[in-house]
């Protein structure tokens, strides 16, 4: 990646629980023109390692798409708690998004004032959402964030 400094979009999948997150995040941090990143995690990885993406992502990043096959709040929450990138859009493909995920999104949106759009897998049919989820989604909308379906 050192030889490709002008890359603006990267998409990749992770299919191993033994991923060296520190190496990947260090490589990504050197990509000063990176605007869009899509990571699809196909295996059950430990969430505490994933926080490195949030800590080391380049500040040029504007859109982050995240797909996770396993329904663990730890990996997403660790990323959001440690992300200091001025994202404009965040898309999460995570079946059965929990209140914990949504609360973490609200906390992130309060910190990341540039966030304008959040895509959620589980949100298209809001009639299926419980009252608590709808309340948290309304908190995001009150921050002028558009909620869209994402798969």
Which strand ranges, in their side-by-side order, compose the sheet holding 117-120?
9-14, 36-41, 63-68, 89-93, 117-120, 146-149
Within-domain flag for 12: no
Range of the domain at 102: 35-122+138-151
Work out the pLDDT band at 126, boundaries 50, 70, 90. low
Q: Scan for tokens 């493909």, then name that residue.
A: 93
- The two tokens of residue 84 are 């200091």
The 10 Å Cβ neighbour count of residue 99 is 13
Tell me the pairing of strands 89-93 and 146-149: unpaired
Work out the pLDDT band at 34, boundaries 50, 70, 90. very high
DSSP per position, 54-76: HHH--TT--EEEEEESS--HHHH
Tell me what pLDDT residue 118 has.
92
In the predicted model, what is the mean pLDDT of the chain?
81
Phi, psi for 39 (deg, rounded to 5): -120, 125
Contact criterion met (CB below 8 Å) for 123 and 149: yes
Within-domain flag for 112: yes
Tell me what pLDDT residue 108 has.
93
Tell me what pLDDT residue 135 has.
87
Residue 134, Cα to own-chain centre: how many angstroms?
20
- The two tokens of residue 21 are 């997150």
Within-domain flag for 73: yes
Q: What is the pTM of this model?
A: 0.84
Within-domain flag for 24: no
Condensed to tens digits (0 to 9), the pLDDT of residues 73-115 reads 677 788 888 888 999 999 988 766 778 888 889 999 999 999 9
Percent of the chain with pLDDT over 70: 76
Within-domain flag for 65: yes
Taking CA atoms, 70 is separated from 18, 32, 118, in Å, by: 15, 30, 20
Tell me what pLDDT residue 136 has.
84
Within-domain flag for 85: yes
Within-domain flag for 146: yes
Q: Which residue has the higher pLDDT, 2 or 137?
A: 137
* Count of domains observed in the chain: 1
Within-domain flag for 4: no
């Amino acid at each position: 990646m050192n030889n490709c400094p002008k890359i603006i979009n990267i998409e990749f999948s992770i299919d191993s629980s033994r991923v060296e997150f520190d190496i990947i995040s260090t490589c990504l941090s050197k990509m000063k023109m990176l605007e869009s990143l899509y990571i699809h995690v196909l295996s059950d990885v430990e969430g505490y390692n994933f926080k490195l993406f949030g800590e080391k992502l380049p500040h040029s990043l504007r859109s982050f798409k995240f797909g996770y096959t396993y329904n663990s709040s730890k990996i997403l929450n660790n990323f959001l708690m440690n992300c200091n990138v001025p994202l404009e859009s965040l898309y999460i493909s995570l079946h059965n998004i929990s209140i914990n995920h949504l609360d973490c999104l609200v906390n992130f949106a309060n910190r990341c004032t540039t966030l304008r759009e959040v895509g959620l897998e589980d949100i298209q049919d809001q009639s299926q959402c419980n009252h608590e989820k709808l309340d948290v989604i309304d908190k995001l909308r009150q921050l002028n964030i558009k909620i869209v379906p994402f798969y």
